[in-house]
Structure 1
Amino acid sequence: MNKAIFRDSEADRSFRASWFAGRTVIYLLLIFWTVVCLFPIYWTVTTSFKMAPNVMQGALVPWVDYSPAWLGWRSLGLSPETIGAGSTVRDEFLKRFLNSTITALSASSIAVVLGSLAAYGLSRFSYKFGFMRNADISFFFLSQLILPPVVLALPFLVLYKQLALLDTRIGLILLYTLTVLPIVIWIMRDQFESIPMELEEAALVDGLSIWGAFFSVILPIALPGMIAAFILSLVLTWNEYFFAALLTSTHANTLPVMVASQTGSQGINWWSMAALSFAAILPLIVIGIVLERYLIKGMTAGAVK
């Protein structure tokens, strides 16, 4: 009896040791991957507080490898001593920040709405356009991403000149909506296909219309996919540079164009570029953190339903 108890306790200790070792390895890998993901942001923030020699020497730890300075933020008029004074650079930054916010949010919202409706139709109804069926139509949308943006440069430049859309926010919004729409359609199509059709049939039996079933039953369950599609669209449109530099000049310039222009007679102003880059990505970080809570909440609600 005592031997059996001893063997059981030894087996329990061995199990706990192996479980603890496994959990330790998992947490170490997660910590390592967190450091890898956050290091570019850390590098950008620290570079905005470096002088030119510190940037070239690759100093990493503030107050150890170098003494932090507000050089990058001072050049943008965002340092403590310049924030209260007038600054043309800060005014230009705020204007471009507003342009990026309006174009990215508008294009992402329109793309999610239109893409969700198109994906819902592709997942619930059968279409036939010549030889094309639902799968062919879905692939057609995805194939639009294969075309390099530089191929569309001249056609859009000529078209926007004829339509008086050059250097306008509405021009960028329309173009960005077309750019991210295929991605939204594919994400939402998979989301809708994972929802059983019996839920809609039950709603129709209860007296709801197709639109009523969509808004009251399907849409709450598909909310996590819509939020994921919105976040992805927002990141892509916020960081888009090629068309923003091509189709805008004065009034509708966005932040990526301003980041790329941080060059001087002696080369690239890394401290200014780092400060501007961090100021540009900070809203995306905040939006990602805020919407992640709703994403998890939506996933839990969908699982319960």
Structure 2
Amino acid sequence: MAAEATASSLASADSGASARRTKWLLGRIGIYAALVFWAFVSLFPVYWTITTSMKVARNVQQGALIPFVDYQPNWLGWRSLGLSPDTIGNVSTVREEFLNRFLNSVYTAFGASALAVLLGALAAYGLSRYQYKFLWMRNQDLGFFFLSQLILPPVVLALPFLVLYRELALLDSTIGLILLYTLTVLPIVIWIMKDQFDTIPVELDEAAQVDGLGPWGTFFRIILPMALPGMVAAFILSLILCWNEYFFAALLTSTNAKTLPVMVASQTGSQGINWWSMAALSTAAIAPLVIVGVLLERFIIRGLTAGSVKG
């Protein structure tokens, strides 16, 4: 009887362990299936853009999706920009315009992001380490005030900025866009950087000042290097927002300072939208952001999750 009971208990244990393994395996399969589905949803617009840049009008209208199966790839979109293999060595006014717009986007996006990170880091460090009082507002109120600027619709600022930039002779200038983009992304930089500085112990500041460093030396030599992941995350998010901004770029520029989003939106012809040219331009426009994001991915994740776990 004892042997039978032992065998029965062992069989029950094995059955329970097998059920747990099956449950765990099904859970893992479900998680990976959800991740694969979400990756497909997220990457499909990029795939559609890249493939559309190699279609002709007939393929676009038919909704062909798979190259070499539904249609034969064609360099029509890239040829219209002077960027196809058979035209890259020839003189092209469209390619020259694209390169000018590309450089304008680089100057404005990188310049505004760098300036916003510098100013935002200073403001966030002050809000994290010092106590302020402005009228009825304290530090928490000031932080909310900065973040609330993101709620304001850009169209509300269109006329004031148009009049202001005309008076300051900043219309159709890269400097004007850099200043405006800096103002636009500064709230989110302050928000990210303050959260980053809050995770750094105040005792490090006190120890550095005991060793003879002043407030500026403490900030630049001790605290700022430790906040590097948050700075990179804030820089990348600012870069994406500035790079893709269209409204103010279309409103405040006409010839010299136009950026890539404005050029992408202007791909229309006598017969409608040139989807192949627009897709080729969009592919060329998102490629730098993809490269930067892949290279700095670990900093983005560390920066955005820095304040999620606090001791």
TM-score normalised by length of structure 1: 0.93
Deviations 1:72-113 (A, max 9, x none): 001000111111111000000000000000110000010011
1:234 aligns with 2:239: yes
Listed as ranges, the matches of 1:117-128 within 5 Å are: 117-128=122-133
1:146 aligns with 2:151: yes
* Contact 1:221 1:298 survives alignment (8 Å): no
Structure 1, 243-252 or 7-16: larger mean CA deviation: 7-16
Deviation of 1:207 after TM superposition, in Å, equals 4.1
* Contact 1:107 1:176 survives alignment (8 Å): yes
Deviations 1:12-37 (A, max 9, x none): 22222111111111100000000000
* Contact 2:196 2:306 survives alignment (8 Å): no
* Contact 2:233 2:303 survives alignment (8 Å): no
Match of 1:89 in 2: 94
Structure 1, 86-95 or 215-224: larger mean CA deviation: 215-224
* Contact 2:124 2:191 survives alignment (8 Å): yes
1:53 aligns with 2:58: yes
* Contact 2:196 2:303 survives alignment (8 Å): no
2:271, 2:212 → 1: CA distance?
71
Match of 1:39 in 2: 44
Percent same amino acid at aligned positions? 70
2:302, 2:190 → 1: CA distance?
23
1:137, 1:126 → 2: CA distance?
11
Listed as ranges, the matches of 1:56-205 within 5 Å are: 56-205=61-210
Where structure 2 has 5 or more consecutive residues not aligned to the other structure, the ranges are 1-5
Name the SS of the counterpart of 1:145 in structure 2: helix
The structure 1 residue matched to 2:282, chosen from 274, 277, 288, is 277
TM-score normalised by length of structure 2: 0.91
1:19 aligns with 2:19: no
2:211, 2:18 → 1: CA distance?
57
What is the alpha-carbon root mean square deviation over aligned residues? 2.1
Where structure 1 has 5 or more consecutive residues not aligned to the other structure, the ranges are none
Deviation of 1:202 after TM superposition, in Å, equals 3.5
Amino acid corresponding to residue 73 of structure 1 in structure 2: W
Amino acid corresponding to residue 146 of structure 2 in structure 1: F
Deviation of 1:297 after TM superposition, in Å, equals 7.1
1:181, 1:300 → 2: CA distance?
20
1:187, 1:299 → 2: CA distance?
7
The structure 2 residue matched to 1:251, chosen from 256, 263, 271, is 256
2:73, 2:32 → 1: CA distance?
32
Amino acid corresponding to residue 56 of structure 1 in structure 2: Q
Number of aligned pairs? 303
